Structure 1
């Protein structure tokens, strides 16, 4: 998800040392692109194409774009898909989650809208440049989008081509937060772990620069910002799904084999969930081949890591990391991520948009290789 108006000239890069398995590691931050509009999520294809969603909180004219080599933004997959029309399947509405699989298929999660657009998963084959699949996400498997105080929407996704499944964080408050499991072969959609403690927001307030964040709607006033399950990621073997509430201090995990077992009732499935570690209030996750979990630390402009032995370390801190929203490994070995200044957008800043370009696509050398696209 919720994926500075500051002048950065003269501010030097702050490097934080991470210490894993008895070896020192210092990570440097590189600017890939400076953007005039705020990114939402990012994925990098096996052919090194960078695809971005643009964050809905800024009401962008384009919804999904490709970052061209010259730094320009090209409508993805084309201009027609970026012409808003809630009455058609073949156009973007409210888009945030995106992930490319190992076959070069980009999976885009469109959460729909209150105008009647139904949430959907759209898969675009970047190798053959054609639509691969569309799966509509309909009730009762999901709850259709609503506004606060009971805000509900499909948020982020993790693509599991080992089992041909996708896992979606169904963000909401205490009673409707859940994980959505999509079978890519049958298009069956199931909502599981509804209102389980692992998906519900904790009473932990997000504070950035000393200010508590609320959600503001033009005609409805301000509401306490407490977001349930949001960050979600698979390990490199597709054996474990890691997740947690954005507003929460706990990271959880569950075996994909258990999630895929439709015979489990929610109470039985809930017993399979493990609390893995502590975590900060965060938005994005990525996991490398060694089991390190890269995590956004929203309150400190930091990319942090939870090691396989569950130790928390700060990897790199920099003022340009202003609401780290999403990660993706690229084929060049870098870990890419975006900075959206989301806390300065109008919905999270008392109705006033004080975010200022440039917004950033950044990258760093990770501790270990990872799965391209994630």
Structure 2
């Protein structure tokens, strides 16, 4: 009886995957067709569009770019390095620790903040260059650096920054190799790592995509991505976060804020964490003005959202949504979805010993949703 049930489940899974390979949602629109993948798009209300390029397909060059021309009739989009070529010119063979503080060493996220500035999270290589681990803001009126927050003393040599969200004068960052949250005071630059290796910040399963665990090409072992996705509720009350393998948690932001300057409060944070939603392996998230948290299911090629009442709803399922990474809700009530194919890149072992198995062009899609962005998330 048990064997029969398992066979039925296996057959169902195979049939579901076969159906998925041909499932297309006509509501999804193509925004860009790229020669290489992007793991995150962000837009300004006046139409500027920025991307981060992970270079997992053997490509080189700019990592943070602005889209000057979206391209048409088969032509590639025109991308220029932002803010300039120098920031995008890191060379590990020739650059030094000073360069590491004023160049993108290993950028992991970019987004427009609620202040209208472009923010870039640079994971860096903190075990070699302490000031390479940083959060940078750029004034989009001048396209110049506004401020750099160096976080190498907080991440230490083992921690790598992942992404950032904002709440008034506070910023919260996930750190994915140790498994922790970093709280940052944007006014004075003071920061603290909290919930280090807590059950809510640790991945208890390896990351997966297309129904398979991902195997690191550098270690040959299953890839664990600890604290990864994050959002803040539109009223600023809650901070949501999860590892790459899923299961979302939340904590009231007042406790995080108190912990920044209070050792006792920092030590008690674990008492205020609570499970929020049983999400699956997730490529990226976004939140809208109503507090709906969108997340990408990288095993099933779906986008779902968790409402503030903690119910989960399917937004779309489409075979083209191959590892949708960081998402974005724009002022025209569209959800941007970068189908990055990150799982097919050179960071993970590919079939037949290929370096990567990415299919090109790589697409960025949009789908209409009923809400604009959260006002404290971005303009």
Task: Report TM bin, short chain.
Answer: 0.7 to 0.9
User: 1:91-132 CA deviation, whole Å, 9 max, x = no partner?
Assistant: 111111112123320110011125536211110011232211
2:250 counterpart residue number: 253
Q: SS of the counterpart of 2:268?
A: helix
When you count helix as a share of all residues, which structure comes out higher?
2
What runs of 5+ residues in structure 1 fail to find an aligned partner?
A: 1-9, 16-27, 146-151
Over the residues paired in the alignment, what is the CA RMSD in angstroms? 2.1
- Shift in Å, 1:29: 1.0
User: 1:198-229 CA deviation, whole Å, 9 max, x = no partner?
Assistant: 101113x4443343211111xxx401212111
Q: SS of the counterpart of 1:224?
A: coil
Matches within 5 A, 1:144-293: 144-145=157-158, 152-160=159-167, 162=168, 164-172=169-177, 176-203=178-205, 205-217=206-218, 221-248=219-246, 250-261=247-258, 262-263=261-262, 264-293=264-293
Q: Distance in 1 between matches of 2:308 and 2:60?
A: 38
Q: Distance in 2 between matches of 1:341 and 1:281?
A: 14
Q: SS of the counterpart of 1:271?
A: helix
| Residue 210 to residue 134, structure 1, CA distance change in 2 (3 Å) | closer
2:141 counterpart residue number: 127
**Highest relative contact order (Cα 8 Å, sep 6+), 1 or 2?**
1
Q: Distance in 1 between matches of 2:286 and 2:211?
A: 28
2:15 counterpart residue number: none
What runs of 5+ residues in structure 2 fail to find an aligned partner?
A: 1-20, 71-76
When you count strand as a share of all residues, which structure comes out higher?
1
TM-score (norm 1): 0.84
Matches within 5 A, 1:26-175: 28-58=27-57, 60-70=60-70, 71-85=77-91, 86-87=95-96, 88=99, 89-113=101-125, 115-116=128-129, 118-139=132-153, 141-145=154-158, 152-160=159-167, 162=168, 164-172=169-177
**Count of matched residue pairs:** 336
Q: SS of the counterpart of 2:132?
A: coil
TM-score (norm 2): 0.83
Q: SS of the counterpart of 1:314?
A: strand
User: 1:175-198 CA deviation, whole Å, 9 max, x = no partner?
Assistant: x21001111111111100111111
Q: SS of the counterpart of 2:217?
A: strand
User: 1:309-337 CA deviation, whole Å, 9 max, x = no partner?
Assistant: 21222211112211011111222221212
